[in-house]
Amino acid sequence: MATSKDPGVEPDQTPDSLDTCHRCALYKDATQGVPGAGPRHAPLMIVGEQPGDQEDLQGKPFVGPAGAMLDRALEEAGVARKEVYVTNAVKHFKWEPRGKRRMHKTPAQREIDACHYWMDRETADIDPKVIVALGATALKSVLSDSKAKLQASMGHPIDHDGRVIVATYHPSYVLRAPDPETRQAAYRAIVDALSEAHRLLKKKR
């Protein structure tokens, strides 16, 4: 039974598969839900915002331009992507049309909250020791705090629910930066955060 004003949305639904998730309305305009990817029990989890255009089409996280940027930063930080579990706070692509293109739209808090159902399941399943949150949406989801602020959380790891959270910019921020200096500084911050996560993991082993 739908409990929202939108007949397609069932916020209390407890689906077994993303394919049948109607906890928010984003499923309606997306090609598919995009689950996380990576080894079960990976000690490091990386959380992004939501799938982009390419991820929506391919059904895999971080395979488009932001994924290429993330791969470059991971390599520079000495972290093998195949050993990391990569996922998103929101599992369906939220977009609006601009001409023939589908432009990313930032998810609303109610959509982050609805999708926390999947984040909880993934976090329990993977049980990572360290989580890197890429951008404000990821940080809000990982900390379950709608007021979490990215700038204030960067540069110092946060102990949360028995795990360590490392916050940094989203790779798309690097791609959208207006000038080379901002781009370089944001990219360095991501590499530094991934290096810090790697160092923390080694300390925990």
Smallest separation, CB 196 to ligand URA (Å): 20
Task: Write out the E strands in 99-162.
Answer: 101-104, 130-134, 158-160
Contacts of 125 by beta carbon, 8 Å cutoff, 6+ apart: 40
Amino acid (one-letter) located at 114: A
Could you say which of 50, 123, 141, 153 contacts ligand URA (CB under 6 A)? 50
Residue burial 116-150, b: 16+ Cβ < 10 Å; e: rest: bbbbeebbeebebbbbbbbbbbbbbbbbeeeebeb
- What x-and-dash track marks residues 72-101 binding ligand URA by CB under 6 A? ----------------x-------------
**Closest to ligand URA by CB, 67 or 128:** 67
Place of tokens 């990569």: 86
Could you say which of 44, 66, 133, 197 contacts ligand URA (CB under 6 A)? 66
Establish if 62 lies at the interface with ligand URA (CB under 6 A): yes
Establish if 49 lies at the interface with ligand URA (CB under 6 A): yes
**Closest to ligand URA by CB, 43 or 64:** 64
**Nearest to ligand URA by Cβ — which residue?**
48
Could you say which of 33, 61, 128, 157 contacts ligand URA (CB under 6 A)? 61
According to DSSP, residue 7 is labeled T
Asked if 81 and 62 touch (Cβ cutoff 8 Å), the reply is no
Chain positions contacting ligand URA, by CB under 6 A: 48-52, 55, 61-62, 64, 66-67, 88, 172
